[in-house]
Amino acid sequence: MKKQTVDSRPAGPKPWYDPRIRSIFFQFIAIALVFWGGWTLVDNTLSNMESRGISTGFGFLNETAGFGIIMSLVPYDATMTYGRTFLVGLMNTLLVSAMGIITATILGFIIGVARLSSNWLVAKLALVYIEVIRNIPLLLQIFFWYFAVLGSLPSPRQSVEVGGTFFLNNRGLYLPEPMPQEGFGLVWSAIIVAIVAVIGLRTWAKKRQLATGQIFPTFKVGVAILLALPVVAYLAAGTPLEWELPALKGFNFGGGITIIPELAALWIALSLYTASFIAEIVRSGILSVSKGQTEAAKALGIPNNLTLRLVVIPQAMRVIIPPLTSQYLNLAKNSSLATAIGYPDLVAVFMGTTLNQTGQAVEVVAITMAVYLTISLTISLVMNIYNRAVAIKER
């Protein structure tokens, strides 16, 4: 008889003890629970709305709004639809967010550099600004600028006037409005050509500097190109631009461009508040650069302004950009405080008046949340692309 042999080799590990399979299983369970919870919430909401006779869907966007809006970047009147009110609110939100980001960035970088100034007075003034502004709630600052500063300006009939062209009162700032005439397209073409030329000049100057070590005055020449080409095109086209001046009509001004006090107060408060945080981010980024870099630049005889611009700031940007992105996101979301002073942003116009008149709470809130999510993701995407572009490349 043949002797039976028993395989004494250890059995392979069971699938349950494989960390990879176990992690996939638990992730699948988690995703299934999330979808189940979301579906239950949606189904319960729809059932409750149906039992109360509340209609659902986005058809209300095609209904007539029937209310006015004090500021609109696109044509709008009360006979237009709720979809149009959404567009008006969205444009106003994007406007104040973009204005705030640009102003806060410029002011924050200036104050951040001033914070490290060797001049005692400049450094202390920057410190006082940062500590005072960032420790006062943003909503209080908005109220301060709106009620205490802009609200105390004179009435339209007693407006502060500059050369019969600019007028400032408690209803806003009135500016001349440019009215392009036939032939102004040549000026737009010149502006585009000038921008392309400056980008090409900057690229050439960088390559020249790497090859020869010589610095080309890109900024001065670029500014000259941006100003000279459009001016030459403007004169060649026969000055195809007229100006509509604001004029007092009854109890208020008409014509021209109007910057309403709600926009001004929100813009100033958002810019100053966010700039105080950006200043500290810039300061920390500059301090993260080794002092040896500055000392080496001084040893080579490089002026302080060029050392800061060409040596310190480029290396500090890798530290500055991530928290700077967070501040941009905070500014965009903080713009929703506009409803406190009546600025017609997305929250005030769409999630406020439109929701109250239509009763479509779920749809309106969902659209508003989706818009802010999209704005935040777009800002993050742009900043991440920029971060990769300026990152220090290892050899």
Do 107 and 130 touch, CB atoms closer than 8 A? no
Percent of the chain, pLDDT > 90?
45
When pLDDT is averaged across residues 333-362 and rounded to a whole number, the result is 90
Q: What is the pLDDT of residues 12-44, one digit of tens each?
A: 556 667 778 878 888 888 999 998 888 888 778
Q: What is the mean pLDDT of residues 288-294?
A: 86
Query: Which pLDDT score, from 0 to 100, does residue 394 have?
Result: 60
How far apart, in whole angstroms, are the C-alpha atoms of residue 323 and residue 280? 10
Which tens digits make up the pLDDT trace of 217-244? 888 999 999 999 999 998 998 888 888 8
What pLDDT is stored for residue 100 in this prediction?
Answer: 96
Q: Which residues contact 202 (CB under 8 A, 6 or more apart)?
A: 218, 222
Strand-by-strand arrangement of the 166-169 sheet = 160-162, 166-169, 172-175, 257-259
Measured CA to CA, the distance from residue 364 to residue 371 in angstroms comes to: 11
> Given pLDDT bands bounded at 50, 70 and 90, which one contains residue 254?
confident
Q: Provide the residue type at 198 as one letter.
A: V
Q: What is the model's pLDDT at position 4? A: 56
Domain 82-172+260-390: homologous superfamily in CATH: MetI-like (1.10.3720.10)
pLDDT tens for 129-165 read 999 999 999 999 999 999 999 988 998 888 888 888 8
What span, in angstroms and rounded, lies between the C-alpha atoms of 129 and 109? 13
pTM of the model: 0.84
H helix intervals, the chain: 19-51, 82-115, 120-133, 138-143, 185-212, 218-236, 261-287, 291-299, 304-306, 313-334, 346-348, 355-358, 361-390
Q: Where exactly are the structural domains of the chain?
A: 82-172+260-390, 177-244
pLDDT at 44: 82
Q: What is the DSSP letter of 260?
A: -
Res. 291 pLDDT band, cuts 50 70 90: confident
Residue 390 pLDDT > 80: no
Closest residue by Cα to residue 146 from 267, 279, 234: 267
Question: Looking at 55-59, 219-223, 240-244, 341-345, which range is the least confident one?
Answer: 55-59
User: Which range is least confidently modeled, 55-64, 183-192, 343-352?
Assistant: 55-64
Average pLDDT over residues 113-133: 93
Which pair of structure tokens corresponds to residue 309?
A: 């611009």
